[in-house]
Amino acid sequence: MPAIDSQLEARRSLDSLRNLQREGLSWVRDSLKNLWTIWGKWKYLTVQEAYRRDPVLTVSRLLAWRTRCFLRRPAIAFLCRWNVKMFLPAQWRGVAKLIFTFREHYEPELACLETILSPGSIFVDAGANIGIYTVVASRIVGDTGRVIAFEPSAQSFPILQRNIALNGLKNVLAFPFALGQTTGRCRLYRGPNPGLNSLGKDPSWKEEAEEIEMEQLDRVLDRTSTNRVDVIKMDVQGAEELVLRGARRIVTSMHPLIIFEIFPEGTAPIGLSPFGAWDFLRSLGYKFFVVQRGALCNTTSPPLGGNVVAIPGQQI
């Protein structure tokens, strides 16, 4: 009996040691994963134009935004370059943090609007979110131009409207529906933040969705008596190809310049090709550029992610 008891005790000790080893390995893995995540976010921050220009101001704004989110205090950010104001909801995840922290340097393509738009231009903002491209474009095109914005999410559309009103913009038409290849009702799945809402559901998301309207851009332009478009910006979480197929007539007849996001992770849940929008535009003779340090740089293959500027070959 004593021998059996000793064997049982030894086995328990061995099992306890193995459990401790597993817990230790799990802790190490989690710690390394967290460090890698922090390092990735820090690396992202340090390559931003706003950080390059003034790292102290950029970091202080980021910390201030963290405090505002903790206190649930929204903000109004002023972008003096274009004399526009942005109401920003107190959300740590999403574009509000980036706009508050980076301001005019939120994305390099934002400043690029100054070179591709002019007074009297017509600008389409597909996936307007809370409206930073909408309000900046509105200022640039002026009273003789027009901005047509689309944002289907009930989480973001009221804020888009608020920012349009906050800036007293009279040349903006805002519609609370998505653009796509067809018309009708569909589901918009809610991601971890409103900027990630998508027509396709990521398996890791909660079962939250809203029913929305989808329209073709060609039909909307007909209804609003818009017979030309100069620039289209698309940020629709992988559904860019669908927007283009619903805008085939205006794209093939007017050849607008197009800013669009490449987001392969977003195309898969919708059942689309990772680079479907790129391939569609290339078949129409478009050439592709990325914005680097304020300049358009030619690219012959799609990047892994980020924004691309597509210019009709005949305009180059």
Kindly report the pTM of this predicted structure: 0.88
Most confident of 10-24, 41-55, 252-266: 252-266
Specify whether the CB–CB gap between 142 and 84 falls below 8 A.
no
Residue 21 pLDDT class (50, 70, 90 cuts)? low
Write down the residue that tokens 């007017």 correspond to.
254
Q: Kind of pairing, strands 209-215 and 184-189?
A: antiparallel
Check if the beta carbon of residue 77 is closer than 8 Å to that of residue 134. no
If you average pLDDT over every residue of the chain, what do you get? Answer: 90
3-state helix, strand, coil in the chain (%, to 5): 45, 20, 30
Is pLDDT at 159 greater than 70 in this prediction?
yes
Kindly state the average pLDDT of the residues 283-297.
Answer: 92
Domain 107-315 falls under CATH 3.40.50.150 = yes
Least confident piece of the model among 28-37, 41-50, 81-90, 290-299? 28-37
Check pLDDT > 60 for residue 244. Answer: yes
Residue 28 has pLDDT above 90, yes or no: no
Task: Please tell me the predicted confidence (pLDDT) of residue 39.
Answer: 76
Please check the confidence at residue 3 and state whether its pLDDT lies above 80.
Answer: no
What is the rounded distance in angstroms from the CA atom of residue 162 to the CA atom of residue 89? 11
Q: What pLDDT, on a 0 to 100 scale, did the predictor assign at position 246? A: 97
Across 122-130, average pLDDT: 97
Please report, for residues 83, 105, 145, 170, the alpha-carbon distance to residue 80 in angstroms, rounded to integers and kept in the order given: 5, 12, 21, 20
The domain segmentation of the chain, as residue ranges, is 1-46, 49-105, 107-315
pLDDT of residue 281: 97
Percentage of residues in the chain with pLDDT exceeding 90?
76
Q: Mean pLDDT across the stretch 12-27? A: 62
**SS3 assignment, position 52:** helix
pLDDT at 316: 74
- pLDDT at residue 279 greater than cutoff 90: yes
Residues in the chain, total? 316
| Average confidence (pLDDT) over 48-75 | 95
Within a 10 A sphere around the Cβ of 242, how many other Cβ atoms?
Answer: 24
Calculate mean pLDDT across residues 282-291.
95
Closest to 101 measured CA to CA, from 81, 83, 79, 82: 79
- Name residue, tokens 């009709």: 312
Mean of the pLDDT values across residues 67-75?
96
pLDDT for 294:
81
Task: Indicate if the pLDDT at residue 2 is higher than 60.
Answer: no
- Per-residue pLDDT of 180-216, as tens digits, reads 999 999 999 998 888 988 998 888 887 789 999 999 9
